[in-house]
């Protein structure tokens, strides 16, 4: 089958199947062979790997993944793309195509079935309208993961990798960094897609920690505190946390915890590191 990373081949397939793009599914297909090669190289895909691709589209990146990986699981929501994928991927017997919403798929079960429960690699040019729920869903459901290498909106990639004190720092930065080490592999121009998106994109690799560098008694409670702190990011941490109505989190207890941590009583959430939030969580948790 012809390489779909080449613009004319993509156009030929779209015309043959009379495909119309669905904006609601965030469909922007890659048409740049260099970017595709760099993603596969950056994701470090080998013939030992089982890869989950979210949103294969017409199969452009799937072709590259099938060439490099042992097994590719491609989950696509748009039923109109399934006959196209059956055609563009017909030369490969190391793939399965699942017509489902990825947010509803039991990825743990897939990892068990196709990779004996060993860590899988996720590679995707993500639909931008659900980037955060997809990434958080993968982490929070404790899918065995080696790494996640994904194309996202450039601004979202920036948010994932920054630290305290920057305007982009927030709940997403902390969640991603709790589970993984982020690194931006490349910035991608809007011209590398059809149709052209309105934003610049970036490929970010999240290499999952083998063992968690931060220890906290109650992960869920820590993330409740983090979300509450950034929901009202212009307020002090004390006000942000106490306005959220979290059980047992009173002004007195937050002041006391800040004092124990040697932090100012007027500090804002955006100044705290991940390990500060872990300590705060251990101090405020009501057992």
**Any contact of residue 75 with ligand SAM (CB under 6 A)?**
yes
37 in Cβ contact with 18 (< 8 Å): no
**Any contact of residue 152 with ligand SAM (CB under 6 A)?**
no
Pinpoint the alpha helices (H) of 209-273. 219-231, 237-243, 251-260
In the three-class reduction of DSSP (H, G, I as helix; E, B as strand; rest coil), residue 153 is classed as strand
**Any contact of residue 172 with ligand SAM (CB under 6 A)?**
no
HSE-up (13 A, CA, CB side) for residue 231? 14
Closest to 222 (Cα-Cα) out of 171, 159, 166, 163: 171
| Dist. CA 140–CA 107, nearest whole Å | 12
Q: Is the peptide bond before 195 cis (omega within 30 degrees of 0)?
A: yes
Site for ligand SAM in 1-40 (CB under 6 A): 25-30
Give the residue with the Cβ less far from ligand SAM, 81 or 143: 81
**Any contact of residue 61 with ligand SAM (CB under 6 A)?**
yes
**Any contact of residue 56 with ligand SAM (CB under 6 A)?**
yes
| Dist. CA 260–CA 265, nearest whole Å | 11
**Any contact of residue 55 with ligand SAM (CB under 6 A)?**
yes
Give the residue with the Cβ less far from ligand SAM, 52 or 174: 52
| Dist. CA 71–CA 49, nearest whole Å | 7
Q: Count of residues binding ligand SAM (CB under 6 A)?
A: 23
Site for ligand SAM in 114-133 (CB under 6 A): 125, 127, 130
**Any contact of residue 42 with ligand SAM (CB under 6 A)?**
no
Query: Please, what is the minimum distance in Å from the beta carbon of residue 137 to ligand SAM?
Result: 10
121 in Cβ contact with 147 (< 8 Å): yes
Q: Which of 2, 96, 103, 286 binds ligand SAM (CB under 6 A)?
A: 103
Query: Please, what is the minimum distance in Å from the beta carbon of residue 181 to ligand SAM?
Result: 24
Can you give the binding site for ligand SAM, defined by CB under 6 A? 25-30, 54-57, 60-61, 75-78, 81, 101-103, 125, 127, 130
């Amino acid at each position: 089958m012809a390489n779909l990373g080449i613009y004319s081949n993509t156009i030929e397939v779209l015309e043959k199947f009379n495909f119309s793009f669905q904006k609601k599914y965030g469909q922007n297909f890659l048409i740049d062979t260099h970017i595709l090669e760099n993603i596969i190289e950056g994701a470090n895909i080998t013939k030992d790997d089982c890869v989950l691709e979210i949103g294969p589209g017409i199969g452009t990146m799937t072709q590259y993944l099938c060439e490099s990986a042992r097994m590719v699981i491609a989950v696509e929501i748009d039923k109109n793309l399934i006959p196209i994928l059956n055609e563009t991927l017909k030369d490969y017997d190391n793939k399965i195509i699942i017509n489902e919403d990825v947010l509803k798929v039991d990825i743990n079960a897939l990892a068990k079935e196709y990779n004996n429960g060993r860590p899988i690699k996720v590679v995707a040019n993500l639909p931008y309208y659900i980037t955060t729920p997809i990434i958080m869903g993968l982490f929070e459901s404790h899918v065995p993961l080696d790494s996640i290498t994904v194309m996202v909106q450039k601004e979202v990639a920036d948010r994932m990798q920054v630290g305290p004190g920057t305007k982009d720092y927030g709940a997403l930065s902390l969640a991603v960094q709790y589970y993984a080490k982020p690194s931006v592999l490349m910035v991608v121009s809007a011209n590398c897609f059809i149709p052209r998106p309105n934003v610049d994109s970036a490929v970010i690799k999240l290499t999952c920690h083998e063992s968690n560098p931060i220890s906290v008694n109650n992960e869920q409670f820590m993330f409740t505190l983090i979300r509450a702190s950034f929901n009202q990011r212009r307020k002090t941490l004390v006000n942000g946390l106490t306005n959220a109505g979290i059980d047992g989190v009173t002004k007195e207890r937050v002041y006391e915890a800040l004092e124990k941590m040697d932090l100012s009583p007027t500090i804002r959430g955006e100044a705290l590191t991940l390990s500060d939030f872990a300590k705060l969580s251990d101090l405020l948790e009501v057992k």
